Amino acid sequence: IGLEGVKNWGARFAGRVWKSVFEELLKIKEPTDWERPEGIVVRAFCTKTGLIATSYCKSKRYDFSIKGISIPNCSYHKPYMVKVCKGTNLIATDDCPPDAVEEKIFTDPDDMPKEYCNCSGGYEHLQLIAPDTVYTDEIVVFEILSPLFKSGDTIEIDINGEKTYLKTYPLKLMWSPSRPGNYYVSVIHWSSIGEVVSKTGKNIKVIPEIRKTEMIVLPIKPKVGDIVRVYIKNPPSYSYTAEVFINGKREGVLAQTPFEFRFKVTSRGTYRIVFKIYDLYGNKLVELEKTIQVP
Ligand SMILES: [Zn+2]
Ligand SMILES: [Zn+2]
């Protein structure tokens, strides 16, 4: 008897109603707070267990119950957490690739996988090959290894919300971060019908570039008659002026970056080149030295 039966409540249904109520009572092993029935109420019952339905019970039946008696709630339908292998939808084992294992909540044990996965890692193991640490303005290449990638699929790469989509081989992305900080690179392999095949991700730390100030002398082995070019690679921040000394004699004062000085090699011998770089206030920031031999 369903809810509609309530409207037809009458003597001719009474027999059936009482039969139904007593059927319910028989299913209850230990009735508590037993009292003499005082009245009849309509309650939702789980059709699977016959107990009082909760929000987890998908199939409910409304039926009469005796007011004042306690019927336990259905405890068969409740959240169950199961680790599932996405490749097979079976219970994940330690052999499943970690990025294929997903925690799923089931509310009906009948829907849960019953068998253990035996993929042994045969399910796609999507991999992102990328360094853990990158300097600002360094150019790095991310490579995605996706054994199941096929025509029509898409690899989505999301770096702190900035998305790039790769649809063809090579599954590579060049990246050059300008700002230091912590980045998360998420990679999703989408199938051609828009389903997630696999996911992975990696934290990357971007640290400020340590600029190494260097003196470059070209050509490396000059001969008599050559014009030698001397310049400073990566001058320190706040560089303002530079002095150039050759064999102890000041040959020039340079007032703007890039600091570059040229001289002609007029004779054989040893050339000791010294660069002194100063800030706006005349504080020496760095002194660089290089000696060349002209045979
Ligand atoms: Zn239930
Ligand atoms: Zn598996």
The model's pLDDT over 14-57, given as tens digits with 9 standing for 90+, comes to 444 555 555 665 565 555 555 545 688 889 999 999 999 999 99
Condensed to tens digits (0 to 9), the pLDDT of residues 187-238 reads 999 989 998 888 888 999 998 877 788 899 989 899 999 999 999 988 887 7
CATH number at residue 200: 2.60.40.10
Residue with tokens 């980045």: 183
Asked if residue 202 and residue 220 are part of one domain, the reply reads: no
**110 Cα: distance to centroid of ligand 1 (angstroms):** 11
Asked if residue 132 and residue 197 are part of one domain, the reply reads: yes
**87 Cα: distance to centroid of ligand 2 (angstroms):** 6
**116 Cα: distance to centroid of ligand 2 (angstroms):** 8
Q: How far apart are CA 278 and CA 241, in angstroms?
A: 5
Condensed to tens digits (0 to 9), the pLDDT of residues 133-190 reads 998 878 899 999 887 788 999 999 999 999 999 999 889 999 989 888 999 999 999 9
Given a contact cutoff of 8 angstroms between Cβ atoms, the answer to whether 165 and 156 are in contact is: yes
Q: How far apart are CA 65 and CA 38, in angstroms?
A: 11
Domain-located, residue 120: no
What was the pLDDT predicted at 148? 78
Given a contact cutoff of 8 angstroms between Cβ atoms, the answer to whether 142 and 126 are in contact is: no
Residues paired with residue 184 on neighbouring β-strands, in sequence order: 203
Indicate the pLDDT class of residue 12, thresholds 50, 70 and 90: very low
Q: How far apart are CA 288 and CA 211, in angstroms?
A: 15
Domain-located, residue 131: yes
Q: How far apart are CA 112 and CA 42, in angstroms?
A: 31
Q: Which ligand is nearest to the CA of 98?
A: 2
Q: Which ligand is nearest to the CA of 109?
A: 1
Q: Which ligand is nearest to the CA of 61?
A: 1
Residues paired with residue 172 on neighbouring β-strands, in sequence order: 143
Which residues, at least 6 apart from 285, have a Cβ–Cβ distance to it below 8 Å?
236, 238, 239, 277, 278, 279
Domain-located, residue 230: yes
**28 Cα: distance to centroid of ligand 1 (angstroms):** 14
**124 Cα: distance to centroid of ligand 2 (angstroms):** 9
Asked if residue 141 and residue 89 are part of one domain, the reply reads: no
**81 Cα: distance to centroid of ligand 2 (angstroms):** 17
Domain total in the chain: 4
What was the pLDDT predicted at 7? 41
Domain-located, residue 71: no
How many CB atoms sit inside 10 A of residue 51's CB?
19
Asked if residue 97 and residue 52 are part of one domain, the reply reads: no
68 pLDDT higher than 50: yes
262 pLDDT higher than 50: yes
Indicate the pLDDT class of residue 243, thresholds 50, 70 and 90: very high
6 pLDDT higher than 50: no
> Ligand 2 is a single-atom ion; what residues have CB below 5 A from it?
85, 87, 96, 117, 119
Asked if residue 269 and residue 202 are part of one domain, the reply reads: no
Asked if residue 254 and residue 186 are part of one domain, the reply reads: no
**85 Cα: distance to centroid of ligand 2 (angstroms):** 4
Domain-ending residue, one of 207, 234, 261 = 207
Q: Which helix (H) or strand (E) holds 189?
A: strand 181-190
Asked if residue 219 and residue 287 are part of one domain, the reply reads: yes
**33 Cα: distance to centroid of ligand 1 (angstroms):** 22
**55 Cα: distance to centroid of ligand 1 (angstroms):** 9
Q: Which ligand is nearest to the CA of 54?
A: 1
CA 76 to chain centre: 35
Asked if residue 287 and residue 218 are part of one domain, the reply reads: yes
What was the pLDDT predicted at 5? 38
Q: Of 218, 157, 161, 212, which is closest to residue 190 (Cα–Cα)?
A: 157
Given a contact cutoff of 8 angstroms between Cβ atoms, the answer to whether 269 and 294 are in contact is: yes
Asked if residue 17 and residue 41 are part of one domain, the reply reads: yes
Asked if residue 230 and residue 192 are part of one domain, the reply reads: no
Q: Which ligand is nearest to the CA of 56?
A: 1
How many CB atoms sit inside 10 A of residue 213's CB?
15
Domain that holds residue 85: 80-111
Q: Which ligand is nearest to the CA of 74?
A: 1
66 burial type by CB count under 10 A (0-12 exposed, 13-18 middle, 19+ buried): buried
Between vectors from CA 17 to CA 14 and to CA 21, what angle results, nearest 5°? 140
**7 Cα: distance to centroid of ligand 1 (angstroms):** 27
Q: Which ligand is nearest to the CA of 110?
A: 1
